[in-house]
């Protein structure tokens, strides 16, 4: 891991206008990505994981826009990009993305080979047979047997896992620096999931990519990630290495997430859940966004937004618990026992 980040998002704010109202989906969110690392962003639905990463390649929906902060990549501030033309310099070539549902991510009326070739022709300035050769190589690289025959088939002739391989082939065809995987295995069979994750890992090593996983599957996180960022209500509330997040978390939301891991459940007992609902992002949020759902919330949590407290150079959490003035709060027992339990279950 080099010290210089490859991409650095700082205080990013993203707002959506919905029927005349303004929704603040991302509220001053900062994140550094380093060359070759794997970062997982976790959080419940609506926490802004997808929106945040989509803004790195200008894929926000038409009614959303970046209203503050900066996204520095290669000396350029992507947050200042407004036209599709500017974004086309980034998409595919520099930053690429794999979406959740392979069943709908491919054009049903176009041969899969052509869909890969299109990407190559577009971004590498190669045309015709040469591009086709590269497309065939790409098919082979993502583990599709008999690429010559498969090149001429249509998406409906592929299974879900195979389609996701094709989608990945399209996304990495032009050797991007950063690959964002938005829940790449959610729509797939459990047995296929591991294969796809392995494939992404292999490609990452071969092409020296930085990979960002967006997921709510903590099992996936433990398997693939170097670092984890936990998002809640449009902010990153805690980030650190996998070890630090799993075994030494400090934000109460991270605790709540980890305690609801199904692996920790006891037979016959209901699995712990996080009570309440995330805050309404149409309203202004005061203090710590998680406070209303946190049984051990401090008085200050409702008043003032906590800053980041550094636990180690790689681990920071945005909670008043870490302020020296706050009362002594211990990590919940289940969190302290997590390591033992995880090891026990392998």
Closer of 187 and 199 to another protein (Cβ): 187
Burial class (CB in 10 A: 0-12, 13-18, 19+), 148: exposed
User: Which residues contact residue 230 at a Cβ distance below 8 angstroms, ignoring those fewer than 6 apart?
Assistant: 41, 42, 43, 236, 237, 238, 239, 245, 251, 253, 254, 257
Tokens of 341: 């339990």
**Nearby residues of 304 by Cβ (< 8 Å), 6 or more positions away:** 287
SS3 305: coil
Least Å distance, CB 213 to another protein, is 16
| 57 near another protein, judged by CB under 8 A | yes
Q: Does 128 bind another protein (CB under 8 A)?
A: no
Residue from 10, 28, 65, 93 binding another protein (CB under 8 A): 93
Question: According to CB under 8 A, which one of 42, 60, 97, 322 is a site residue for another protein?
Answer: 97
If the CB atoms of residues 199 and 291 are measured against another protein, the closer one turns out to be 199
Selected range binding another protein among 37-45, 168-176, 262-270, 282-290, rule: CB under 8 A = 168-176
Stretch that binds another protein, among 91-99, 126-134, 190-198, 335-343 (CB under 8 A): 91-99
273 CB-contact burial (10 Å; exposed 0-12 / middle 13-18 / buried 19+): exposed
Number of residues binding to another protein, judged by CB under 8 A: 31
- Residue 144 near residue 166, CB atoms below 8 Å: yes
What φ, ψ does residue 287 adopt, rounded to 5°? 70, -150
Q: Answer yes or no whether residue 92 interacts with another protein by CB under 8 A.
A: yes
Report the nearest approach of another protein to the CB of residue 241 (Å).
Answer: 29
Between 34 and 154, CB nearer to another protein:
154
Rounded to the nearest whole angstrom, what is the least distance from the CB of residue 124 to another protein in the complex? 11
Task: Give the CA distances from residue 271 to residues 73, 265, 315, 332, in Å, rounded to whole numbers and listed in that order.
Answer: 42, 6, 28, 16
Query: What residues line the site for another protein (CB under 8 A)?
Result: 57, 59, 84-85, 88, 90-93, 96-97, 99, 101, 104-110, 118-119, 122-123, 154, 156, 167, 170-171, 173-174
């Amino acid at each position: 891991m080099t010290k210089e980040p490859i991409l650095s998002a700082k205080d990013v704010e993203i707002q959506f206008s919905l029927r005349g109202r303004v929704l603040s989906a991302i509220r001053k969110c900062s994140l550094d990505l380093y060359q070759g690392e794997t970062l997982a962003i976790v959080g419940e639905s609506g926490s802004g994981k997808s929106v945040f990463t989509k803004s790195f390649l200008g894929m926000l929906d038409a009614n959303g826009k970046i209203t503050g902060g900066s996204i520095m990549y290669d000396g350029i501030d992507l947050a200042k990009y407004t036209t599709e033309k500017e974004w086309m310099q980034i998409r595919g070539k520099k930053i690429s993305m794999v979406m959740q549902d392979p069943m709908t991510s491919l054009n049903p009326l176009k041969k899969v080979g052509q869909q890969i070739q299109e990407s190559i022709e577009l971004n590498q300035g190669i045309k015709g047979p040469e591009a086709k050769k590269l497309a065939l190589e790409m098919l082979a690289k993502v583990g599709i047997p008999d690429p010559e025959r498969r090149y001429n088939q249509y998406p409906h002739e592929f299974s879900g896992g195979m389609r996701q391989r094709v989608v990945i082939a399209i996304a990495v065809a032009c050797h991007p620096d950063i690959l964002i995987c938005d829940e790449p295995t959610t729509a797939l069979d459990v047995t296929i999931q591991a294969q796809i994750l392995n494939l992404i890992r292999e490609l990452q090593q071969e092409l020296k990519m930085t990979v960002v996983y967006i997921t709510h599957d903590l099992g996936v996180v433990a398997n693939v990630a170097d670092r984890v960022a936990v998002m809640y209500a449009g902010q990153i509330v805690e980030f650190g290495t996998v070890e630090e997040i799993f075994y030494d978390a400090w934000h109460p939301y991270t605790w709540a997430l980890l305690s609801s891991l199904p692996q920790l459940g006891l037979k016959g007992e209901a699995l712990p859940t996080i009570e309440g609902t995330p805050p309404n992002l149409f309203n202004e949020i005061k203090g710590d966004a998680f406070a209303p759902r946190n049984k051990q919330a401090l008085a200050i949590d409702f008043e003032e937004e906590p800053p980041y407290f550094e636990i180690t150079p790689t681990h920071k959490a945005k909670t008043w618990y870490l302020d020296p003035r706050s009362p002594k709060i211990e990590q919940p027992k289940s969190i302290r026992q997590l390591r033992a339990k995880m090891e026990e279950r392998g």
